Amino acid sequence: MNESKYDDYDFEDEEERYSAYEHRILNDTIKWYLSKIGKYKLLTREREFELARHIINDGKITNEHEKELILSNLKLVISVAKRYIPTTRN
């Protein structure tokens, strides 16, 4: 029977190194994203209600209002996404 050159290879060690690498990439991506979205301020409670009233009363949302809602809530995306980042085994 022929032995494989990978018989003694430690695949678990390789998986741990890959997981650490993957974790670093995710963290770098998040840092980049946060630096880009940092310029957008969160909506005040009053502004949020104002936009909601506009949508409810007019039954529509303008591109400007839509953009304001989306951009001001981008930090929430990170908050939720962090819950799904795999942790390393170290």
pTM value?
0.52
Instruction: Report residue 29 as tokens.
Output: 């991506």
pLDDT in tens, 9-28: 555 555 566 577 777 777 78
Residue 22 lies in a domain: yes
Handedness of CA 13, 17, 23, 26 (dihedral sign): negative
Residue 45 lies in a domain: yes
The pLDDT of residue 51: 86
Domain enclosing residue 34, as ranges: 11-84
What ranges in 1-90 are assigned the alpha helix state H? 11-37, 45-58, 63-72, 74-81
Residue 6 lies in a domain: no
pLDDT in tens, the chain (90 residues): 555 555 565 555 555 665 777 777 777 877 888 888 888 888 999 998 898 888 888 877 788 888 888 888 888 887 887 787 766 554
Residue 79 lies in a domain: yes
Domain count, the chain: 1
